[in-house]
Chain A
Amino acid sequence: MLAVLQVTLAGLVTGSLYGLLALGIVLIYRTTGVLNFAYGAIAAVSACLMYILLTGPRVNFWLALGMTLVFAVVLGVVLERAFARPVLNAPVFTKAIATLALALVLQTVAEGLWPQLAEIQHFPTPFEGHALRVSGIYISLISVVVLGVTALLMLGLTLFLTRTRLGVAMRATADNQSAARLMGMPVGRIFMLVWALSAAVAALAGVLLASQQGLIDVQFMDPILILAFVGAVLGGLESLPGALLGGILVGLTDNLLALFLAGHHIGALNISDPGIRETLIFGGFVLVLLFRPQGLLGQAVLRRV
């Protein structure tokens, strides 16, 4: 029982990380219609920069975090101007492929600048080695931080989107771009803001993931991104709470399956293999989509003829 609780907690933590990434993916998709496959690369590049700041000039952790977030915001703005704007009116599919190309470029730049990160490095944090013990369950400090940051960020984003003029303008742009433009909203600047905001979320998620694993390399986001996408789609691609929920579901399922399948065999087949786990997760995901094609919290689309 204790093991189940412990694993559930671990699932919540990894799930929150998927959820954070899913949040950023949904934010960009909803407002600008870009299915952003470069999201993992943005997170990875930011986290790599932070690693360099921490190990090279030995900047204080919090200062380095601040600098990384500023860098991410700038990166978001630059990407919107130099990359997203020129392909704005291209078909959705073309834009998705363009983000894949962008991911390749970002990774190459990072690898060229910091060749030591082509191999796995240790990511130093002040949280390392600290853990709480609550009635028999161990919670590492970083897990608490991940859960706390996710909750705060979700709260902050929701408040921002519902209570501030800018947030409402962002939602209006997402709902109907041309109407928003006609109402005098600076759609271009809102797009820039969305990219900057989601890049900052990506950087935060990247740093949290690197801190939680204690390890980092240029491609450390790649296996995570696809699960974050599954989370985003599971939640409905349109809804921020849905994205978080979807991410957490994926994380929980992954961890619980790992626990229950460990050491079991069907005939000669070792079902504790990660491949089987992945298959089950994707299989379940497709099943959910069959019953709710618009995701868990997404609304069914009315199509006008």
Chain B
Amino acid sequence: MATRKTTDSTTPDARATAGQPANARAFWARVIAARGWLGALGGLLVVALLSPLYDALLGTSAGFQLHRLSLIGIFIMAALAQNILTGYAAQPSLGNAAFFGVGAYLLAWLTNDLGQAYVIGLLGAMVACAALGALVGGPALRISGAYLAIATLGLVFITGALLDLWDTSAGRQSYDLNALPTFLTEDHGLYFTIFAICALVLFAAHNLLRSRVGRAWIAIRDNEAAAAAFGVNLTRYKLLAFVVSATLTGLTGALYATWATTASASMSSADQTIAFLAMIVVGGLGSIPGSALGAIFVGFLPLLLDQLPSPIMAGPLQLQVKTLTTGIYGILLLLALIFFPRGLSSLGTHARALFARRTAQTTQEGAP
């Protein structure tokens, strides 16, 4: 907010004194003001154009590559769900992987065993996760901080163990989805479906976070006591954050199962929860673009590291890329956290602050 004000206040003077370049500055100021919409539009354009571009460039492997890209759309929604709970409502919950698994298994159960339509399966998964989120959110209101983090991590272990038990007692390795609509088993159809849902979810989240609910969450995060004093119902809004996040994660889990055409108990594991957290911490807590950036970072990195030749020779050491990938991933994650402790989305703030300083400087030079 503050940075935008400075650019706005400097531009009229600049226009009066400096003529042509000032118009350019005003233009850029307007661009910055509209950056959210431009970013969204650009994102949609990239997503829409990537499919024909891949078809043209990659030929037969285009489908495979698009399929891998679709995963990032799923991760963006999962990161957003975690960010709503942790970055906005300030609940350090590690429990989202539980809903991720439950959503996937419910979709599998509803479409496979009960023969329901796919949409019913998705809705069922979301409703069940909403209920589960309310069930978990209730007790979670009594627990805070690191205690909540470990307790909710416990929930993930419980869910993972129970889902695994369901699999073993049904005599299967994982729950294969074999009643999917045909357009979702085709890579292009899946890609567009996932990113369409992702765009809708991002749009809805954008509006929700600027509504009464979003403001209440931010108030709770910034100062719980002050929020309560201003009449924000802490219990209701914290619970709502758990329910919204669980619902969205349930949807994400169902979509992930669709993407993988199978639901497995490893979806509710500590590793999965860690991945969600890494996304929002890398991207930026309390930021929608941050959720997307973090999901892209966490989703893309393994794809890029896969391109390395194997094994890599480093002097006497012969390193398997598979083990190395984890290490490089860890190092990059560490570097990102050390240099951008507020997340990659703070890059934009830095850049804007720099731009505002430069405009202010040039105006001062031109004025006397």
Query: How far is the CB of A116 from the nearest CB of chain B, in Å?
Result: 13
Are B323 and A111 closer than 8 Å at their CB atoms?
Answer: yes
Residues of B within 8 A of A29 (CB): 146
The proximity string for A residues 121-160 relative to B, scoring 1 for CB distances below 8 Å and 0 otherwise, is: 0000000000000000000000000000000000000000
Stretch at the interface among B29-37, B58-66, B273-281, B347-355: B273-281
B83 nearest CB across to chain A (Å): 11
For A35, the closest partner residue in chain B by CB is: B146
Other-chain residue from B86, B161, B334 in contact with A98 (beta carbon distance below 8 A): B334
Among the stretches A51-59, A87-95, A174-182, the one at the interface with B is A87-95
Chain B residues lying within 8 Å of A86, measured Cβ to Cβ, are 338
User: Is the C-beta of A164 less than 8 angstroms from some C-beta in chain B?
Assistant: no
| Residues in A neighbouring B18, C-beta threshold 8 A | none
A226 on the B face (CB < 8 A)? yes
B119 at the A interface (CB under 8 A): no
Interface-located stretch among A8-16, A193-201, A254-262, A286-294: A286-294
Using a CB-CB cutoff of 8 Å, which residues 275-321 of chain B contact chain A?
277-278, 281, 285, 317, 319
A101 at the interface (CB under 8 A from B): yes
Q: How far is the CB of A271 from chain B (nearest CB, A)?
A: 10
Are A112 and B150 in contact (CB-based, < 8 A)? no
From B144, B154, B226, B341, contact of A230 by CB (8 A): B154
Cβ–Cβ < 8 Å partners of B274 in chain A: 97, 100
B338 near A87 with CB under 8 A, answer: yes
Contact digits for B1-27, partner A, Cβ 8 Å, 1 yes 0 no: 000000000000000000000000000
The answer to whether A89 touches B158, judged by C-beta atoms less than 8 angstroms apart, is: no
In contact, A282 and B154 (Cβ under 8 angstroms): yes
Of the candidates A92, A94, A108, A278, the one whose C-beta lies within 8 Å of that of B326 is A108
Q: Which residue of B lies closest to A85 (CB)?
A: B338
Q: Which of B154, B278, B330, B337 contacts A90 (CB 8 A)?
A: B337
Q: Is B143 an interface residue (CB 8 A)?
A: yes
Is there a chain A Cβ closer than 8 Å to B327's Cβ? yes
Does the CB pair A233–B150 fall under 8 Å?
yes
B217 within 8 A of A: no
A133, chain B: closest CB distance, angstroms:
37
- Check A1 for interface membership: any CB of B closer than 8 A: no
**Are A289 and B147 within 8 A (Cβ)?**
yes
Q: How far is the CA of A118 from the CA of B317 in the complex (A)?
A: 15
B335 to nearest A CB, angstroms? 9
Tell me how many residues of A have a C-beta within 8 Å of chain B: 52
Query: How far is it, in angstroms, between the C-alpha of A29 and the C-alpha of B146 when the chains are bound?
Result: 10
Minimum C-beta distance from B282 to chain A (A): 8
Which residues of A sit under 8 angstroms from B151, Cβ to Cβ? 233, 285-286, 289
Q: Within the complex, what minimum Cβ distance (angstroms) separates B277 from chain A?
A: 6
What's the Cα separation between A118 and B153 when bound, in Å? Answer: 27
Which of A90, A275, A305 is within 8 Å of B225, CB to CB? Answer: A305
- Bound-complex Cα distance A45 to B142 (A): 37
CA distance A177 to B202 in the complex (A): 41
B258 CB to nearest A CB, Å: 26
* B341 near A295: Cβ-Cβ < 8 Å: no
Number of interface residues of B (CB under 8 A): 45
Indicate with 1 or 0, residue by residue over A19-57, a CB within 8 angstroms of chain B CB atoms: 000000000010000010000000000000000000000
Is B331 among interface residues, defined by CB-CB distance under 8 A? yes
Query: Is A279 within 8 A of B142, CB to CB?
Result: no
B interface secondary structure, majority = helix
Query: Please, how many angstroms separate the alpha-carbon atoms of A86 and B92 in the complex?
Result: 22
Q: Within 8 Å of chain B (Cβ to Cβ): is A165?
A: no
- Distance A283 CA – B270 CA, assembled complex (angstroms): 16
Contact of A5 with B by CB under 8 A: no
Question: Per-position contact with B for A180-198: 1 when CB-CB < 8 Å, else 0?
Answer: 0000000000000000000
Smallest CB separation, B257 vs chain A (Å): 20
Q: Does A96 contact B (CB under 8 A)?
A: yes
Kindly list chain A residues whose C-beta atoms are within 8 Å of the C-beta of B334.
Answer: 83, 98, 101-102, 105
In the assembled complex, the Cα of A155 lies from the Cα of B231 at a distance in Å of 50
A3 touches B (CB below 8 Å): no
B346 to chain A, nearest CB (A): 12
* CB within 8 Å for A90 and B150 given contacts A290-B139, A290-B142: no
Residue contact B158 to A283, C-beta cutoff 8 Å: yes
Give CA–CA (A303, B337) in the complex, Å: 29
Q: Which single member of B145, B161, B226, B330 contacts A104 (CB below 8 Å)?
A: B330
Q: Provide the residues of chain B in CB contact with A113, threshold 8 Å.
A: 317
Do residues B154 and A35 form an inter-chain contact, with CB atoms below 8 A? Answer: no
Contact of A104 with B157 at beta-carbon distance under 8 Å, contacts A93-B86, A94-B281, A97-B281 already known: no
Scan residues 133-167 of chain B and give those whose CB is less than 8 A from a CB of chain A. 139, 142-147, 149-151, 153-155, 157-158, 161-162, 164-165
Q: CA separation between A37 and B334, bound complex, in Å?
A: 14
**Cβ–Cβ contact B164 & A105, under 8 A:** no
Q: Which residues of A contact B324 (CB under 8 A)?
A: 108, 112
CA of A303 to CA of B145 in the docked complex: distance in angstroms? 13
- Is B329 located at the chain interface by the 8 A CB criterion? yes
Q: Tell me the minimal C-beta distance from B29 to chain A in angstroms.
A: 31
Q: Which of A101, A107, A293 is B333 in contact with, Cβ under 8 Å? A: A101
Extra A-B contacts (16), CB below 8 Å, given A103-B330, A233-B146: A29-B146, A87-B337, A90-B341, A91-B285, A92-B145, A93-B277, A96-B277, A97-B281, A101-B329, A101-B330, A101-B331, A101-B333, A104-B329, A104-B333, A276-B165, A283-B158
The contact sample of 23 A-B pairs, CB cut-off 8 A, is: A35-B146, A91-B285, A91-B341, A92-B146, A93-B277, A97-B274, A100-B277, A100-B278, A101-B329, A103-B330, A104-B330, A104-B333, A229-B150, A233-B147, A233-B150, A237-B146, A275-B161, A275-B164, A276-B161, A278-B161, A289-B147, A305-B225, A305-B226
